[in-house]
Amino acid sequence: MTLSTHLSAATARTSAPSISSLMKLALERPEIVSLAAGFVDQQSLPIATTAHAAAQILGDEPAGRSALQYGTTIGDEALRAILVERLEVQHGVPPGTYRQAVGRTVLTTGSAQLIYLVGEALLDPGDIVIVESPTYFVFLGPLETRGARAIRTPIDEHGLQIDALEATLGRLRDEGLLEKVKLIYTIPEHANPTGISLADDRRKPLVDLVRRWSEKAGRRIYLLEDSAYHGLSYDHKEGRSLWSLDPEGETVILARTFSKTFSPGMKLGYGVLPKALVDPILALKGNHDFGTSNFVQKLVRLVLAGGEYDRHVEHLRALYARKCDVFVEALERYFAPIRDRVSWTRPNGGLYVWMTLPEEVDAGFDGPLFARCLAEGVIYVPGEFAFAPEPTAAPRHHLRLSFGVPDEATLAEGARRLAEAVRATLRPAPDE
């Protein structure tokens, strides 16, 4: 007799990750140019720096034993203090200004764990999270698991549109749903998937808007600032974090990670939490893992204190700036014959370009473009995955392109193959 397995409602709600098949395809067919995975440049990974730091820790017997023991749920206090001091330097405030934030800073297993914990702490089935349109598609997965509704609000070339967000909140209020809105999610620097950054003059108005609507709702609406790409600006100073514009520490959840700027394999992130969320999130995290890898925390503390981390980030900025230039210039060259029908973003940091095709082009896995791209030997992430399911069906004529992994020659070849596939897929223009 074969017995069935009765899975939880949360498991039943959860779809398989949308790009798992792309990662499998890239591994099985190495001849394909992958513009899909948002991985970091393989050659840039800090092997020597990491080996040196690990040797320092393990070469000191008391320090080594400490690093190999359990840590605390909230994380290494000395590292948390360094991270808060770095926030003070970033924002040009006197030392000690943010000292009270050390107790609200938690170290997590990548920023993904922090984001999951925030959802676990705040969201019940039917609750609402407002996200940018488009947004980081991996974020939509935990919302699905929690049974929350993800509702999108527009962006433009300067990031999230404040007036449009106000209109979205107003519509939800008119529908009697404001009390269900728990969270607003934004990526203010070099967003995944668009590469767009939130304009400086929209940052304080965004924080003020969320505070104002919290008062209208009669309870706190939180603003989750996913700052995964902070530090990867090519040639300009990044704007103030949204967190720094919330001096009371009641509205903004700051999420950052070392995955893009140092090593994704270490899986270390951190968050600075509003006061009301510290104890609930630590209680949940204790059930997850008792605390993030103590050894990794000690190692990252060492490379931060010694300056190796900042030197590595400086190298990454130059590397990705050059890759971006090569890739965008190749797009300009190979898409020139159809440039009036195709557009894309030009990021000033991060790892992504967002391409928009005519609306009649179906860029989904089952559409003609993806099949043609496979024939040409190039893959991308269909943009439809980056749109929340409400209020309307996701558009299917966008592509997310990542230039993080391929070398410069491969990026140029990938742009050529992509252009060939798009040109072959497009219907003739009316005057052709």
20-51 tens-digit pLDDT? 777 777 778 888 999 998 889 999 999 999 99
Q: Tell me if the domain spanning 17-38+311-425 has CATH number 3.40.50.720.
A: no
**Average of pLDDT values for 209-222?**
96
Cβ contact 427:420 at 8 Å: no
pLDDT computed for residue 430 by the predictor? 55
**Average of pLDDT values for 384-407?**
96
d(CA 65, CA 57): 9
* Residue 96 banded pLDDT, cuts 50, 70, 90: very high
pLDDT tops 90 at residue 136: yes
The architecture in CATH of the region 49-306 reads 3-Layer(aba) Sandwich (3.40)
* Domain residue limits, the chain: 17-38+311-425, 49-306
Give tens-digit pLDDT for 262-318.
999 999 999 999 999 999 999 999 999 999 999 999 999 999 999 999 999 999 999
Which tokens sit at 208?
């003020």
In terms of Cβ atoms closer than 10 Å to its own Cβ (0-12, 13-18, 19+), residue 102 is: middle
Half-sphere exposure of 26 (CA within 13 A, CB side): 17
Nearest C-alpha neighbor of 107 from the set 315, 376, 248, 301? 301
pLDDT tops 60 at residue 432: no
